[in-house]
Each structure stands twice: as structure tokens, then as C-alpha cells.
Chain A
């Protein structure tokens, strides 16, 4: 396992491209305030819906805001929420999954039933309701999305942890009289780290799509904050007269998601976790 992690240097071209896409998007988002040629929320009535020009490379939107600047800044919100939500979902899911696998028997049964039941409730309904009741602040979004993904992560981790628990190390550790949490932490987690990493990359790609979908439906970020999903929603009716306003955020969003998918595929292949097989959505 550890050697496999070290072997990350020899990745397939696909994975490298994927990681490069993700890295590029993250870098642009981090440096956005310095990269963006204009203030992404500054309006300019005289220049509304202008075409591409030297001063505005991608033109301007209906309020005369620079589309390039908005696209550059548009990933910050989605990336922040996605990173926090994915991390929370994966950490909590991993804990629940390992606990279920470790204790087995009725604890496992009960946890599995509860997870199944939560999975059965349409998550988009839960999300929309939570956001419409508690507002669309970042903490609410992060918690809501995490709640939605925890059961799925927990199930995958549980599946991966069970064979490990049947192994010699764990039996030995139990025989030494070690307590459950140290066993999970020291013996189980390192051995399922590959699964968890792939899970993280995979989930991240869906969470990014989900965040943009929420913005598109009007349940995400508030205007005038630049955000890809919101930009697509705001500019799509003007697609024929000012296509850059819609197409630029689509390209940016797809670049990130393709990157995450390629990275997840590559990591999966590298670790021998067959993502496509297992990877329902």
C-alpha cells in the first residue's frame, strides 16, 4: 500500500492531464484576485453585452461586467464549497464505514439499514429543502451536501474495510488486547487509504457538478458573486447574442470535472480500485 502510494510518480498520461486540469483550475482560483483584469462585480452600463475586444477578451455580460474576470473568479465559491463538503463527507463516511465494518453484527446491520434508508430519500429534495429553510450560506451548503454523500462513502469504505479486518494483523492486534479505535486508526485506515483517495476524487467531481446545479436552480451562491453555475443561469437566454457569457463558465466547469474524473480514473487504476465497475455515478 505505502509503496503504491510512493509510486504516484509513474502515472498514466490521462491521470497527469487530469491532475494538471485540476491543478490549473485551483491555481487560477487562488490567484484570481491578481489575474482578473477587472473587478468581477463592477458594472458598466455603457458596455453591456459587448462582444470580444482587446479591452474585454470575452466581452461583457448584461450589466457590462467583464466575462473573463467573472470566469476566472467563478471557480472560487464552487471549489471552496466542494473541497469542504467532499472532505467532510469522506472523513465522516470513512469513520462510519470503518466502525460498521469493525464491530460487525448488529452494529453493522443497524448502520447499514440507516444508511440505506437515507440513501432511499431523494437527496436533491433534502438539499433543496435544507437550503430553502436554512438559507444558502457556505456552512449550510457544506453540511447539506456532506449529509447527502456520507452514506454512500460509508458503504464503500465498509466494503473495503471488511477484508482488511479479516486479515492477520487485525486479529493479532485484537489478540494483543488493543482497543478498537487504535486498531481502526493504525491497521485499517492505512490499508483502505487507496479506496478513500479514489472516493475523494470521484465525490469531488460530483460535488462540483452539484454545487453548480444548485446555483443554476437559484439555491446556490448569491448574485453578484461570480460563480459558473450562476453565470450559466444568468446568461443562458442571451446565448445567441453573447455566447461567451455562457460558454466560458461551461468550459471552465467541464475542465475541472473532466480533470477530477481523469484523476479519479487514474488513481483508481493505479491502486487497483476499479472505479468504473464499482463507480455507480
Chain B
């Protein structure tokens, strides 16, 4: 058990290292002289030379990688090329703002979707089931920028209940942001909910069909009790990867939603930095998102391990890999 955990943690670290490696060298491989691009057309040769030096573009690329990685491990990502501010402080502010919309969206989204999924699965074939299924299919098919645009139109402009944008920018306080998180949260719940609902429904149907559940029902255990006490807890396990991917996506910054609402989070920072080619910031965002992705997946695996005693004994690492365990996949949004 302990060995499994440590192997799993070690692989995560290797994955992270590789991710950092790719990020760094992908950025190096971008064509054109970064310094010239940043300074634009009217830059003097001196300014370009100074910036090149500042970026360390003249030293060996491997040396730079080691230095950068060493600093990154201690949380130092250098200074932004555009604002001159410390990248880590910019990054943390943005990340904390993103957490403010991600955490409520995760809590509400996961709870509601799991319940709806179980409900639909338990009432398979009924009107409840088909309406839940159809609604989640539609939610999956409408891009989130459409949901966000419609929400702004109805709940911020036609009936001004919530603010349509965040005015304060990166300096916004918790109090400033609080009313502004509602619409982004709703958008995110709609965007992520559909996938969890579908996975949970499917898993519940499988759970109810197991011998174990049928036996319990035959023994006279009330159906409701079978569902909530016996089937649902086990049925959640295969859904965990689906959940973890969505959580990682939410924490890693949601570009579209944040840009529609002018929300000063990680996604907005990302799109702003892409436009200005602020490479240190981009590298830092990529690494932070990779850390979040790997950590959340690791936690999901460990959670599954802790929750399901069978996995500890039955599933040897080799078998686990070859089994049809749900494979986490990413999505790009």
C-alpha cells in the first residue's frame, strides 16, 4: 500500500519535471527574436541588447533551464516583461481570484451533478431520466461563451441583479468580487455538470445491475436504501477521474469565462500574457496549471485507493494499468 502510494507520487514528480521541460523548451523554440518582438518596431538596438541580457538570451539554453527550474521550485518565476512586477505575486493574486469562482463552482457543481446522475440512473427510462439526459446533452453542446453571454444579457443587463463585469481588476478585494462570482460560477457549473451527470448516471446503472445490489433487493432491503447506502458510494469511484479532470480544468484558469466577465483570474492573465508575449508569466502559468493537474489527479487516485479496499488488494500496479480503469483525459477549453 505504502509502496503504491510512493510510486504514484514519484511518477507525478517525473511527469511534472517533464511538463516543465516541455514548457521551457517550447517557449525557447518560438520563432523570432523575443526581445525584438517585445520591444516592437521602434526599439533601439541598445534596448534590444539590454532586454536580451535581462532575459538571459545570450547564455546557454541548458544553463538557463537549470536556473529557471531551480528558481521555479522555490516559487520564483522572475519578473514580468510587461509590468515589471514579480511574476509569482501576480500569479498568486490571479490564482486566488480563480479559486474564488472555482471552489463554489466545484462544490455546487459536483454535488448537484452527482445527485442528478444518481437520480437519472436510478429512474432509468423515466421522464426524469430522459429530461436529465437531454438537458445534459444540450449543456455539452452549447459553448460556454454562449451561456455566459446569455447570462449577462438576462441577469446583468435586462434585470440588473448581478454585475456583468469585475471593475476593480487585479486589486479587487474579496468583497468586490463576491457579487461578481455568481454568473461565472453558474456558467462553469453548466459547463462541467453535464459530463459528471452522464458519468454518474452510467455508473449508477451499472451499480444497480450488480449481483450485490440485486441480492440486497431480493433480501428485502428497501430500494431507496440499496441505492443510497450501497450502490451510490461505490458508483462514485469510477466517476472520480471525470470529477478530477473537471476540477483541474477549473483550477487551471477558465479563459473564456474569465474574459467574458473581465474576471481578474488565471485565465484572464493567460490571455493577456499571450497577447503581450509575456513569456515568464506564461511559463509560470503553465507550470502552475501542470502542478494543479498532477496534484488533483494524484489526489483522485489516492482517494479511490482509500475509499475502495478492493483496489488495495486486487489491483496490483501491473493489472491496474491493463484493466479498463477509467482513463482520465483532458479537455481543452
Contacts and interface: CB of A to CB of B under 8 A. Distances in A.
A26 to B, nearest CB: 16
A232 B286 contact: no
A122 to B, nearest CB: 4
Interface in B313-333: 321-322, 324-333
A281 interface: yes
A42 B294 CA distance: 50
Interface stretch (B54-62, B108-116, B141-149, B167-175): B141-149
B143 A125 contact: no
B138 A281 contact: no
Interface string B218-258: 00000000000000000000100110011001001101100
A156 B15 contact: no
A124 B137 contact: no
B289 interface: yes
Given A236-B149, A258-B137, A261-B137, A124 B242 contact: no
Contacts of A205: 140-141
B332 A127 contact: yes
A133 B19 CA distance: 21
A113, A124, A127, A280 — which one has the most chain B CB atoms within 10 A of its CB?
A: A280
Interface stretch (B63-71, B72-80, B177-185, B267-275): B267-275
B293 A213 contact: no
Interface stretch (A3-11, A57-65, A170-178, A270-278): A270-278
Interface residues of B, number: 66
B30 interface: yes
B149 to A, nearest CB: 5
B153 A240 contact: yes
Nearest to B14: A113
Interface in A149-208: 149, 151-152, 155-156, 159, 162-163, 166, 205-206
A1 B255 CA distance: 41
Given A133-B30, A213-B143, A261-B140, A125 B285 contact: yes
Nearest to A166: B322
A44 to B, nearest CB: 26
A156, A239, A253, A277 — which one has the most chain B CB atoms within 10 A of its CB?
A: A277
Nearest to B253: A122
Interface stretch (B41-49, B83-91, B196-204): B196-204
B11 interface: yes
Contacts of B261: none
B326 A280 contact: yes
A232 B146 contact: yes
B140, B141, B252, B294 — which one has the most chain A CB atoms within 10 A of its CB?
A: B141
Q: Determine the main DSSP class of A at the interface with B.
A: helix
B18 interface: yes
B16 interface: yes
A216 B145 contact: yes
Contacts of A23: none
Given A122-B289, A280-B331, A281-B245, A113 B15 contact: yes
A122 B270 contact: yes
Contacts of B332: 123-124, 127, 148-149, 206, 210
Contacts of B294: 116, 120
Nearest to A249: B146
B23 interface: yes
Contacts of A258: 137-138, 141
A210 B145 CA distance: 11
B326 A278 contact: yes
Nearest to A273: B324
A232 B11 contact: no
B333 A213 contact: yes
Interface residues of A, number: 58
A114, A125, A236, A257 — which one has the most chain B CB atoms within 10 A of its CB?
A: A125
A52 interface: no
B308 to A, nearest CB: 16
Contacts of B238: 277
Nearest to B266: A122
B328 A239 contact: no
Contacts of A113: 11, 14-15, 18
A148 B282 CA distance: 17
A121 B23 contact: yes
A15 B194 CA distance: 19
Contact of B195 (A126, A127, A213, A280): A280
Contacts of A250: 142, 146
Contact of A278 (B140, B246, B327): B327
A128 B238 CA distance: 32
A250 B143 CA distance: 9
A257 B329 contact: no
Nearest to B16: A120
Interface in A199-234: 205-206, 209-210, 212-213, 216-217, 229, 232-233
Interface in A133-156: 133-134, 148-149, 151-152, 155-156
Interface of B: 11, 14-19, 21-23, 26, 30-32, 137-138, 140-143, 145-146, 149, 153, 195, 198-199, 201-203, 206, 238, 241-242, 245-246, 249, 252-253, 255-256, 259, 270-271, 274-275, 277, 282, 285-286, 289-290, 293-294, 321-322, 324-333
Given A121-B23, A133-B32, 16 more contacts: A113-B14, A116-B11, A117-B17, A120-B15, A120-B293, A121-B289, A124-B332, A125-B274, A148-B332, A163-B324, A232-B145, A261-B141, A278-B326, A280-B329, A281-B242, A281-B329
> Which are the 8 A-B pairs with shortest beta-carbon distances?
A281-B331, A117-B18, A257-B141, A123-B332, A120-B290, A276-B198, A276-B202, A117-B19
